[in-house]
């Protein structure tokens, strides 16, 4: 939930400036790994499924940032897009490991 909140805040902050979606989403994913490590008090188990799961999340965040950058015309629109992006990210982060495991297998 904290990650989804940070994504929404970052998307709102990015609404008024030109962003590079791939690099900013990579920065966000690095922050996600640090947040998960700090909240779980352990390092992530890095394997193929973890890499695919993080790649899926990275792609989702990059698309969300691109959509906010491309279609944001007003503050209300940016708020709506960031709320939808955060909700989608929360759902995807909950089901991402299973999706990645099905895809890898």
Q: What is the pLDDT of residues 53-101, one digit of tens each?
A: 999 999 999 999 999 988 888 899 899 999 999 999 999 999 988 888 8
Q: Give the separation between CA 6 and CA 94, rounded to whole angstroms.
A: 16
Domain that holds residue 95: 2-104
Residues 6+ apart with CB under 8 A from 79: 12
Domain count for the chain: 1
Locus of tokens 């909950």: 94
Q: Packing angle between helix 48-71 and helix 75-104, nearest 10 degrees? A: 160
Encoded tokens for 69 = 């950058």
Mention every residue, 6+ apart, whose C-beta is less than 8 A from residue 54. Answer: 29, 32, 33
| pTM, full prediction | 0.89
């Amino acid at each position: 939930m904290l990650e989804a909140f940070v994504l929404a805040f970052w998307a709102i902050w990015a609404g008024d400036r030109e962003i590079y979606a791939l690099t900013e989403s990579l920065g966000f994913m690095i922050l996600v790994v640090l947040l998960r490590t700090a909240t779980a008090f352990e390092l992530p188990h890095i394997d193929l499924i973890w890499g695919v799961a993080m790649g899926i999340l990275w792609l989702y965040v990059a698309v969300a940032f691109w959509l906010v950058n491309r279609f944001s015309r007003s503050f209300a629109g940016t708020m709506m897009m960031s709320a939808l992006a955060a909700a989608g990210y929360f759902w995807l982060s909950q089901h991402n490991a299973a999706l990645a495991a099905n895809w890898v297998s």
